[in-house]
Structure 1
């Protein structure tokens, strides 16, 4: 791009300046990449629940209460995956007595998407929480 510099009666090249300005603006508007459900599972859950979700992670032996086997959630719920209940547990809303699991809500705070927990009502839910729930569905036995 050229503009006219009246003092020198010649065009002045602004392309490098404009390119830098455009790149700076683009960097400001880019959204951070959202981890996958598998990536969040590995980062947040596998330490206790194990890579396969069976409750045999490296930290499991150090805990007073053995972590749940996440591969049998559907089996223990009459064959239906309890997605809403699982997300409440992960987020930290479900607080049964003696809860050992940390609350991950603040770590999973992200853009929200509509989620149907099976009741036909679309509820705005953080996408990372939905992706983690969907990942857990894939590891059911």
Structure 2
């Protein structure tokens, strides 16, 4: 009997149960955006928020993410950027890592493009979903 396999299978079932039993909660990606992003990126995502002027580096225009990626919105990469995972140790980045702030609430299963359903904070998914609606 392979105990590692059984432990992994149990963990996978437990995560699915956690996601399935989480209380259904309406999360507003727009509200999260206004709370965490609009001061720098602006209300429409153009990089023209009131705090942008005081930054050493201009905030990205979030309305062109898909255009900069061949017309495809790169959901996993966007979530990783918001979370801060791909920017850890990047001293040139002025964007705060929002991973801790967005971990509140239940986890949802998300296919991040590799066919594997990954438990992801619902707030992170909602915020990235909202950014997808801002695309030109």
With normalisation by structure 1, the TM-score equals 0.74
CA distance in 1, matches of 2:26, 2:133: 19
1:64 aligns with 2:56: yes
Q: Looking at both structures, which has the greater relative contact order when contacts are Cα pairs under 8 Å and sequence separation is at least 6?
A: 2
Structure ranking higher in helix proportion: 2
Over the aligned positions, Cα root-mean-square deviation in angstroms equals 1.6
1:96-125 CA distance string (max 9 Å, x none) = 451110011111013100011122111000
- Alignment gaps of 5+ in structure 2: 1-22
The residue number in structure 2 matching 1:112 is 107
TM-score (norm 2): 0.77
Q: Which residue of 2 aligns with 1:79?
A: 71
Aligned equivalents of 2:95, 2:34: Cα separation in 1: 15
| Correspondence list, 1:10-29, <5 A | none
Q: 2:123 aligns with which of 104, 112, 128?
A: 128
Is 1:41 the equivalent of 2:33? Answer: yes
Q: How big is the shift at 1:35?
A: 3.9
- Point out 4+ residue stretches in structure 1 off by more than 4 angstroms: none
By how many angstroms is 1:34 displaced? 5.5
Among 99, 102, 106, the alignment partner of 2:93 is 99
